[in-house]
Amino acid sequence: MGAFTGSVTGSLSVLAAEAPVMREYHELTWWGAVVVGLLAVAGSLFILVSAVAMYLAPDALSQVNMLGPAMGMGLPLLIIAHLVNSWLTEGFALGQLLEAVGAIGALLIVQAVGSWVMGRALHATHWDHTVPLSGGEREPGKG
């Protein structure tokens, strides 16, 4: 073991001087809680209804189409609810706004491209192994 040659108080004062500025947090007001709650519940309902619709859809292509409300409205509403909550408790921060806008924009782009790719892959009408889900029947003359 090596001997300690530095000053304890000197290193502590240097560490304390380099500490970041403490953020000031505010308590969420009742109207803020209502707004955040409504946004979160609305987003969650979009996701729940989409999940139920996917479960009840007759085939895989219809299931992919049911992702639209969840990805297009549900998740952006949840991101906005988080943004409003952070603004009401921490104050406005440009970085959080840019993160939310970037997340929603990326989400919508990925949803559109992913839906197109999955739709193209699932819409294999000339493939004999494509059958409807939930015990559906194949069209006459196909396999």
Question: How many other CB atoms are found less than 10 A from the CB of residue 125?
Answer: 7
Please indicate, yes or no, if residue 128 is contained in any of the structural domains: no
Number of domains in the chain: 1
pLDDT value, residue 132: 57
- 119 band by pLDDT with thresholds 50, 70 and 90: confident
Tokens of 82: 């988080």
Does the structure show a pLDDT above 80 at 134?
no
Q: What does R_g of the chain's alpha carbons equal in angstroms? A: 26
Please indicate, yes or no, if residue 48 is contained in any of the structural domains: yes
CB 116 within 8 A of CB 110: no
Average pLDDT score over the chain: 80
Please indicate, yes or no, if residue 139 is contained in any of the structural domains: no
Please indicate, yes or no, if residue 5 is contained in any of the structural domains: no
Please indicate, yes or no, if residue 62 is contained in any of the structural domains: yes
Please name the residues in contact with 80: beta carbons below 8 A apart, sequence gap of 6 or more. 39, 43, 100, 104
Q: What is the pTM of this model?
A: 0.69
Tokens of 48: 């729940």
Mean pLDDT of 31-39: 96
